[in-house]
Amino acid sequence: MITVEPDGDLVRRFGEHGAGKPVYGQLAVCYDRDEKAARRRARELWRWALPGWHVMAELLPDPRAFDAASQHVTEDDIAALVPCGPDTGQYVKAVREYAQAGFAHVALVQVGAERQHDFIDWSRP
């Protein structure tokens, strides 16, 4: 199972029917040495995620609808959903939510290709 929300009930229900199969959480992050730049980029590229998958997949038929539905999303809104910047603590907190919900694996997905190499360098042990 792969999901984008740390939903422990979903993990439990999946375990009832998919016993022994892996459970993955996918967490969007926006690394940048400059937190303001990360927040700006996350809002620009990821603001459509705020309404949730049920809205995006079922009710928004085209890019204009996505833009309209997300035009009032602020940087603060998106930063509450997506860890942004260089502060390791916020990433650890977000991953911990998945671990506490029963996820065995968490994939961090960098928002914005222009900082992908920086993110990989930063995230290495």
Average pLDDT over residues 92-96: 97
- Whether the CB-CB separation of 42 and 78 falls below 8 Å is answered with yes
Give the pLDDT of residue 77.
93
pLDDT for residue 35 is more than 90: yes
Give the pLDDT of residue 20.
83
How many domains does the chain fold into?
1
> What pTM did the predictor assign?
0.85
Extended strands (E) in the chain: 2-3, 24-29, 105-110
38-92, pLDDT tens digit by residue? 999 999 988 877 766 656 666 667 778 777 878 888 999 999 999 999 999 999 9
Give the CATH number for residue 76: 3.20.20.30
pLDDT for residue 106 is more than 70: yes
Which structural domain, as residue segments, surrounds residue 111? 2-123
Length of the chain: 125
